[in-house]
């Protein structure tokens, strides 16, 4: 502590203004707690500034261009020209509007905003170092702290991010010009989403993946339409190849990959984008000062009240463990604030949905058939292919299906997997069914608007019950 | 101000009670602790006292009505008191209960699904947390067992463990006022039908078949079928007609049988009017549930034997008058209790219970003997404590006193709890042998037939002798037949030579 330093007191110190942190801060403010929110960079965190929002903005923009240019079947002949600067400007406008909104909401809910990097300085004290030389620092004394420092992209040896040749998703979302060619390391959801973006921009994209499958963690039948879709866009996907090295060539770089057998391949490209995952940011917090130690993966262990092992310290969002998803962090932030305020809040959701914004999209929630079986249920499964959906036909996107998994005995919906148009939106209905304890019959008995894609959810439920009209019952 | 009064949890784990009688009327002045109603719950009739000084504003339940614990049954007008609603009372009440008896709520996991999953919407989950209820232990009454807000509130009031039981029973049970034959496929008819009734949760059938079933008054889930569609039972119109016919025939046969047996039935053939439907609840239902629970939990084995009790009859005759001088009516029961306790000491595994959850046999080193007493309301089992420490006269007076209380239904729940072995004396009414149902979780029960003169063969001669038929049922999970027989032999030995009891 600096001699003569006077600490500001607060009920709740929230460290990090991403989806977990700003939700915690706003909720705590709503509950009449004195809240201080410390952010080092920009309100909204990775999600708003360098992740979900800018990537979805670009996915939409490039999607519009691609659609327009490939709509001959609909009688549309167009050759869209992409003004990369304009597209980035539009995307930045979206981001600015949202981050500005977060800041306004925080202020409107009485949250004290502090810019800087916070680290713990004792059980009830933190220091915030303000950015820039000579900006100084200040101490904050807190009753409760909510750690929401998020995550950063993982680097792999030999591929340190330089922002020029070797970029992370963050830089990739802010490129000023369209690269001619791009090697993406990692065929996870970030890699695949960005592969789609750049392919639609006309970049020659190669995805290299160390594992033998793309989109690991998603069922094969969900991943396959995406891989097919990417290949249709001209993306080359190389599985079982680990990026081992890169070197400058005349006007670009050459990325070397290696198989398990030691077979090497070189890919010439303009840039390499490394998207092999994200790691929690816990190393900037001086956790020893409060007696907390992250686990071997850097995560802070929490209970169902978002508490860490230290009673007055909570952790939410990416630092609190997998799945690293903004909506999970938001829920945790809300719960942490409510628990601090003494409410009977808890993380007792039944399922966390996930979405991949590729073409086609993937949306999942709850259990797969195999997981339901493993959990001891006798699963009843219903499926509806989009090619049998009137609305899907009218959008020109008929790849994929909706699958609903339920307990055969009670009919309770346990999970759903969707691959296809608007899967990210459609999955919400199944999520709601799971949380409400709705049965297949409940879903089947609910009238869905015609003609919409959501009818596929209805049909899948009917299919599981054995009386689907528009598909053959299994 | 108005004070609402909810039916309290009048005994452990009681989910509901029948209002037997209101002791006050609307407008009556009442003082705190003054009994306002008689409520019949488990095995006892309990008086419910007023919580306040004031006047009765409104009576919200009728006599004879079965009210779930936690429902408001009466409101009082109280002068000068702040209004206190049921809602504001609930959280504190529930928290108290939870902290007092945490095991009670956690014990039964009826709603537990394979993955340890409880199906309840988020608002209900939140309510459970607010009320301090472990949602995984709450029985759901919603569709497919989904836990509802009401279930959680009920659990918070402390009476949830049994909700599933009674509720299901209620659904399947005829009400007191329902006419016979109103529902064609009723359980009574189905049981006697040649065509055995199915009992599915879901049945597939065409709409026309459903309509037919409705017309015939047949529950589709009860119609037997071998047909399936996609793994679900499928019922055809033919099956419905066949079942409906069988039902009608069975009912006609029932009615005919009743008529033949010479009871009230006055018309043959037509079931209407030949049946009477009585409510199955209160003590009768409790007995029924406990009997079923015992019978279907403990594999019963019954062992029968007869004691030649000449000397016992003489001993009692000798002592009877002396006991009477001391104001005590001496029956055979105290002798039999002493004989049983002496035998239990030698075969302690019969004085035990099975803790199924812990997978342990709990052998009791105290001897609390339950005596089954037939009362107007049904079977009750008062318990005489520490029989081994008491003399014949004391036992005699305690048995008499408890039996009297049971008949008057003034016996408390405590006086019927804590037994280690039970005696049932059906011989008091007549008969020789029976299969007594164990007073679960005890592991043994001894039934006494009528003590009377019977022919006994001895040395090739037949003579008249006072004999006592004994029927011992044991829980075969804990006790084997050989032990049961040895125990019975020892009881007989003591009964045939009562002086041996002096050594005890």
Partners of A436 on chain B (C-beta within 8 Å) are: 121-122
- Across the interface, whether the CB atoms of B119 and A376 are under 8 A apart is answered no
- The tokens describing B53, both together, are 């000084």
Indicate which of B117, B118, B204 best probes the interface with A, i.e. most A CBs within 10 Å of its own CB: B117
Closest to B281 measured CA to CA, from B104, B48, B43, B59: B43
Residue of B nearest to A381 (CA): B230
Partners of B143 on chain A (C-beta within 8 Å) are: 439, 442
Q: Is the pLDDT of residue B327 over 60?
A: yes
Q: Rounded to two decimals, what is the model's pTM?
A: 0.57
Residue of B nearest to A466 (CA): B230
Residue with tokens 């069988």: B246
Report the percent of chain A where pLDDT is more than 70.
Answer: 98
- Across the interface, whether the CB atoms of B129 and A344 are under 8 A apart is answered yes
Q: Which of residues 343-362 of A touch B (CB under 8 A)?
A: 344-346, 348-350
How far does B86 lie from chain A, in Å, by closest CA?
20
Q: Is the pLDDT of residue B185 over 70?
A: no
Given pLDDT bands bounded at 50, 70 and 90, which one contains residue B304?
A: very high
Q: How far apart are the first and last CA of chain A?
A: 69
- Across the interface, whether the CB atoms of A435 and B122 are under 8 A apart is answered yes
Q: Could you give the C-alpha distances from A185 to A239, A245, A256, B155, in angstroms and in order?
A: 10, 11, 11, 54
- Whole-angstrom Cα distance, residue A86 to residue A78? 19
- Torsion-angle region of residue B395: left (phi > 0), alpha (psi -120 to 50) or beta? alpha
Closest to B371 measured CA to CA, from B381, B359, B357, B358: B381
Least CB–CB distance from A376: residue in B115, B120, B130: B115
Q: What are phi and psi of B111, to 5 degrees?
A: -85, 0
Same fold, A7-153+279-341 and A353-465: no
Three-state SS for A389? coil
Given pLDDT bands bounded at 50, 70 and 90, which one contains residue B68?
A: confident
Fold of A353-465: Enolase-like; domain 1 (3.30.390)
Given a contact cutoff of 8 angstroms between Cβ atoms, the answer to whether A400 and A423 are in contact is yes
Fold of B299-502: Chloramphenicol Acetyltransferase (3.30.559)
Indicate which of B143, B149, B207, B233 best probes the interface with A, i.e. most A CBs within 10 Å of its own CB: B143
Partners of B138 on chain A (C-beta within 8 Å) are: none
Partners of A410 on chain B (C-beta within 8 Å) are: 113, 119, 144-145
Lowest-pLDDT choice from A325-329, B69-73, B480-484: B69-73
- The tokens describing B241, both together, are 């007609």
Could you tell me if A436 lies within 8 Å of chain B, comparing CB atoms? Answer: yes
- Whole-angstrom Cα distance, residue A294 to residue A319? 9
pLDDT in tens, B340-373: 999 999 999 999 999 888 889 999 999 999 999 8
Residue of B nearest to A473 (CA): B230
Residue of A nearest to B130 (CA): A344
Closest to A423 measured CA to CA, from A402, A408, A398: A402
How far does B127 lie from chain A, in Å, by closest CA?
9
Given a contact cutoff of 8 angstroms between Cβ atoms, the answer to whether B423 and B369 are in contact is yes
Q: Which residues of B are catalytic?
A: 476
CATH (residue range B122-152): 4.10.320.10
Q: Which of residues 398-427 of A touch B (CB under 8 A)?
A: 407-408, 410-412
Report the percent of chain B where pLDDT is more than 70.
Answer: 77
DSSP string, A305-369: TSB-SSTTEEE-GGGG-SS--HHHHHHHHHHHHHHHTT-------S---EEE-SSSEEEEEE--H
DSSP string, A405-437: EEETTT-BEEEEEEEETTHHHHHHHHHHHHHHT
Residue A73: per-residue pLDDT: 94
- Whole-angstrom Cα distance, residue A453 to residue A317? 31
Q: Where are the domains of chain A?
A: 7-153+279-341, 166-276, 353-465
Instruction: Spell out where A42-147 has E strands.
Output: 111-115, 117-120, 125-129, 137-147
Residue B421: per-residue pLDDT: 96
Q: Is the pLDDT of residue B175 over 90?
A: no
Q: Is the pLDDT of residue B197 over 70?
A: no
- The tokens describing B468, both together, are 């006592």
What's the mean pLDDT when you consider all of chain B? 78
- H helix or E strand, kind and range, residue A382: strand A379-385
- The tokens describing B343, both together, are 């035998």
Q: What is the mean pLDDT of residues B272-287?
A: 75
CATH (residue range B204-252): 4.10.320
Burial (CB < 10 A; 0-12, 13-18, 19+), residue B134, is middle
- Whole-angstrom Cα distance, residue B176 to residue B254? 20
Could you tell me if A370 lies within 8 Å of chain B, comparing CB atoms? Answer: no
Residue with tokens 């084995």: B301
Residue B159: per-residue pLDDT: 55
Given pLDDT bands bounded at 50, 70 and 90, which one contains residue B13?
A: low
Closest to A245 measured CA to CA, from A222, A264, A229, A224: A264
Q: What is the mean pLDDT of residues B393-404?
A: 91
Q: Before B134, cis peptide (omega within 30)?
A: no
CATH architecture of the domain with range A166-276: 3-Layer(bba) Sandwich (3.50)
Looking at per-residue pLDDT, the higher value among A81 and B99 belongs to: A81
CATH (residue range B2-77): 2.40.50.100
- Across the interface, whether the CB atoms of B232 and A410 are under 8 A apart is answered no
How far does B280 lie from chain A, in Å, by closest CA?
29
Could you tell me if A376 lies within 8 Å of chain B, comparing CB atoms? Answer: yes
Partners of A464 on chain B (C-beta within 8 Å) are: none
Partners of A466 on chain B (C-beta within 8 Å) are: 204, 229-232
Same fold, B122-152 and B299-502: no
Partners of B121 on chain A (C-beta within 8 Å) are: 435-437
Residue A134: per-residue pLDDT: 64
Q: Is the pLDDT of residue B395 over 50?
A: yes
- Across the interface, whether the CB atoms of B126 and A345 are under 8 A apart is answered yes
Taking only the tens of pLDDT, chain A with its 474 residues reads 444 567 889 999 999 999 999 999 999 999 999 999 999 999 999 999 999 999 999 999 999 999 999 999 999 999 999 999 999 999 999 999 999 999 999 999 999 999 999 999 988 999 999 876 666 889 999 999 999 999 999 999 999 999 999 999 999 999 999 999 999 999 999 999 999 999 999 999 999 999 999 999 999 999 999 999 999 999 999 999 999 999 999 889 999 999 999 999 999 999 999 999 999 999 999 999 999 999 999 999 999 999 999 999 999 999 999 999 999 999 999 999 999 999 989 999 999 999 999 999 999 999 999 999 999 999 999 999 999 999 999 999 999 999 999 999 999 999 999 999 999 999 999 999 999 999 999 999 999 999 999 999 999 999 999 988 888 876
- Whole-angstrom Cα distance, residue B72 to residue B62? 12
- Across the interface, whether the CB atoms of B129 and A345 are under 8 A apart is answered yes
Q: What is the mean pLDDT of residues B261-280?
A: 60
- Across the interface, whether the CB atoms of B126 and A412 are under 8 A apart is answered no
Residue A141: per-residue pLDDT: 95
Least CB–CB distance from A348: residue in B114, B125, B204: B125
Q: What is the mean pLDDT of residues B250-265?
A: 62
A130 catalytic? Reply is no
pLDDT in tens, B411-449: 887 888 899 999 999 888 888 999 999 998 899 999 999
* Residues of chain B in Cβ contact (below 8 Å) with chain A: 113-115, 117, 119-122, 125-126, 129-130, 142-147, 204, 229-232
Given pLDDT bands bounded at 50, 70 and 90, which one contains residue B96?
A: very low
How far does B189 lie from chain A, in Å, by closest CA?
28
DSSP string, B139-191: PP-SGGG---HHHHHHHHTT--TTTHHHHHHHHHSPPTTPPTTSSTT-HHHHH
Please, what sign has the CA dihedral across residues B349, B352, B354, B359?
Answer: negative
Residue of A nearest to B127 (CA): A344
- Across the interface, whether the CB atoms of A376 and B114 are under 8 A apart is answered yes
Least CB–CB distance from B115: residue in A348, A377, A437: A377
CATH (residue range A7-153+279-341): 3.50.50.60
Residue of A nearest to B125 (CA): A348
Catalytic residue among A327, A397, A448, A450: A450
Q: What is the mean pLDDT of residues B152-163?
A: 68
Please list the helix, strand and coil fractions of chain B in percent, rounded to the nearest 5, in that order: 40, 20, 40
> How wide is the angle at C-alpha B208 spanned by C-alphas B203 and B210, nearest 5°?
35
Indicate which of B92, B114, B202 best probes the interface with A, i.e. most A CBs within 10 Å of its own CB: B114
- Across the interface, whether the CB atoms of A346 and B129 are under 8 A apart is answered yes
Q: Could you give the C-alpha distances from A394 to A397, B80, B380, in angstroms and in order?
A: 8, 71, 74
Q: Is the pLDDT of residue B43 over 70?
A: no
Q: Where are the domains of chain B?
A: 2-77, 122-152, 204-252, 299-502
Residue B412: per-residue pLDDT: 82
- Across the interface, whether the CB atoms of B121 and A439 are under 8 A apart is answered no
Given pLDDT bands bounded at 50, 70 and 90, which one contains residue B272?
A: low
| Number of CB pairs, chain A paired with chain B, less than 8 A apart | 52
């Amino acid at each position: 502590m600096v001699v003569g330093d006077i600490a500001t007191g607060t009920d709740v110190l929230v460290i990090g203004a991403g989806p977990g942190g700003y939700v915690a801060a706003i909720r705590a403010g709503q509950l009449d707690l004195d809240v201080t929110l410390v952010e080092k960079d920009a309100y909204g965190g990775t999600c708003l500034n360098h992740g979900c929002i800018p990537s979805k903005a670009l996915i939409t923009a490039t999607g519009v261009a691609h659609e327009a240019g490939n709509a001959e079947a609909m009688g549309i002949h167009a050759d869209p020209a992409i003004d990369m600067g304009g597209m980035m400007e539009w995307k930045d406008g979206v981001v600015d509007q949202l981050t500005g909104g977060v800041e306004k909401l925080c202020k409107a809910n009485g949250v004290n905003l502090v810019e800087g990097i916070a680290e713990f300085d004792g059980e009830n004290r933190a220091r915030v170092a303000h950015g820039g030389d000579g900006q100084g620092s200040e101490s904050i004394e807190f009753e409760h702290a909510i750690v929401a420092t998020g995550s950063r992209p993982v680097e792999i040896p030999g591929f340190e991010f330089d922002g020029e040749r070797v970029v992370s998703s963050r830089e990739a979302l802010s490129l000023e010009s369209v690269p001619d060619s791009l090697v993406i390391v990692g065929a996870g959801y970030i890699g695949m989403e960005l592969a789609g973006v750049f392919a639609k921009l006309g970049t020659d994209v190669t995805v290299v993946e160390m594992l033998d499958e793309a989109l690991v963690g998603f069922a094969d039948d969900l991943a396959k339409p995406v891989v097919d879709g990417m290949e249709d866009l001209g993306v080359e996907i190389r599985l079982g190849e680990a990026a081992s090295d890169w070197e400058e060539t005349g006007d670009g770089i050459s990325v070397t990959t290696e198989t398990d057998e030691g077979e090497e391949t070189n890919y010439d490209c303009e840039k390499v984008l490394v998207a092999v995952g994200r790691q929690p940011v816990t190393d900037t917090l001086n956790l020893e000062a409060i007696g907390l130690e992250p686990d071997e993966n850097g995560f802070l262990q929490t209970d169902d009240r978002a508490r860490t092992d230290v009673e007055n310290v909570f952790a939410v969002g990416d630092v609190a463990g997998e799945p690293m998803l903004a909506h999970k962090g938001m829920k945790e932030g809300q719960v942490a604030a409510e628990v601090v305020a003494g409410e009977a809040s808890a993380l007792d959701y039944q399922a966390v949905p996930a979405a991949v914004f590729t073409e086609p999209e993937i949306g999942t929630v709850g259990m797969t058939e195999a997981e339901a079986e493993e959990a001891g249920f006798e699963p009843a499964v219903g499926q509806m292919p989009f090619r049998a959906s009137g609305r899907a036909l009218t959008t020109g996107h008929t790849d994929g299906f909706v699958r609903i998994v339920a307990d055969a005995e009670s009919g309770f919906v346990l999970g759903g997997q969707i691959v296809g148009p608007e899967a990210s939106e459609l999955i919400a209905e199944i999520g709601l069914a799971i949380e409400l304890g709705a049965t297949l019959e409940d879903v089947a008995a609910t009238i869905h608007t015609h003609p919409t894609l959501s009818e596929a959810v209805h049909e899948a439920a009917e299919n599981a019950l054995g009386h689907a009209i528009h598909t053959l019952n299994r | 101000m108005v004070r609402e009064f909810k039916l309290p949890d009048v005994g452990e784990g009681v989910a509901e009670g029948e209002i037997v009688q209101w002791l006050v009327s609307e407008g009556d002045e009442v003082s705190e602790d003054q009994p306002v109603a008689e409520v019949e719950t488990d095995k006892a009739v309990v008086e419910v006292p007023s919580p306040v000084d004031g006047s009765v504003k409104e009576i919200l339940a009728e006599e004879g009505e079965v009210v779930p614990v936690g429902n408001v049954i009466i409101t009082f007008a109280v002068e000068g008191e702040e209004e206190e609603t049921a809602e504001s009372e609930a959280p504190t009440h529930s928290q108290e209960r939870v902290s007092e008896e945490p095991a009670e709520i956690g014990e039964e996991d009826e709603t537990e699904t394979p993955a340890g999953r409880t199906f309840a919407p988020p608002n209900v989950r939140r309510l459970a947390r607010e009320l301090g209820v472990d949602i995984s232990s709450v029985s759901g009454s919603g569709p497919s067992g989904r836990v509802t807000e009401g279930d959680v509130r009920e659990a918070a009031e402390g009476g949830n463990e049994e909700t599933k039981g009674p509720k299901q029973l209620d659904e399947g049970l005829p009400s007191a006022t329902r006419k016979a034959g109103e529902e064609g496929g009723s359980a009574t008819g189905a049981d006697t039908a040649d065509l055995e009734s199915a009992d599915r949760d879901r049945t597939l059938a065409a709409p026309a078949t459903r309509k037919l079933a409705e017309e015939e008054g047949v529950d589709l889930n009860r119609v037997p079928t071998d047909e399936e569609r996609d793994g679900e039972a499928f019922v055809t119109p033919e099956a419905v007609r066949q079942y409906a016919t069988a039902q009608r025939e069975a009912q006609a046969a029932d009615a005919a049988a009743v008529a033949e047996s010479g009871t009230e039935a006055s018309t043959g053939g037509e079931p209407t009017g030949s049946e009477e439907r009585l409510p199955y609840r209160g003590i009768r239902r409790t007995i029924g549930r406990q009997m079923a629970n015992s019978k279907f939990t403990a594999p019963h084995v019954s062992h029968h034997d007869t004691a030649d009790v000449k000397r016992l009859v003489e001993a009692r005759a000798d002592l009877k008058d002396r006991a009477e001088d001391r104001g005590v009516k001496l029956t055979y029961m105290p002798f039999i209790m002493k004989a049983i306790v002496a035998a239990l000491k030698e075969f302690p595994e019969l004085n035990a219970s099975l803790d199924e959850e812990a997978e342990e046999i709990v052998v009791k080193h105290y001897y609390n003997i339950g005596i089954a007493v037939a009362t107007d309301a049904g079977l009750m089992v008062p318990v005489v404590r520490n029989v081994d420490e008491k003399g014949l006269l004391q036992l005699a007076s305690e048995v008499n006193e408890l039996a009297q209380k049971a008949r008057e239904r003034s016996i408390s729940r405590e006086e019927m709890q804590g037994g280690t072995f039970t005696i049932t004396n059906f011989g008091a009414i007549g008969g020789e042998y029976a299969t007594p149902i164990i007073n679960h979780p005890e592991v043994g029960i001894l039934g006494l037939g009528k003590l009377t003169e019977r022919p006994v063969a001895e040395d090739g001669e037949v003579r008249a002798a006072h004999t006592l038929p004994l029927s011992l049922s044991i829980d075969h999970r804990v006790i084997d037949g050989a032990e049961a027989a040895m125990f019975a032999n020892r009881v007989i030995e003591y009964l045939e030579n009562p002086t041996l009891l002096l050594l005890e």
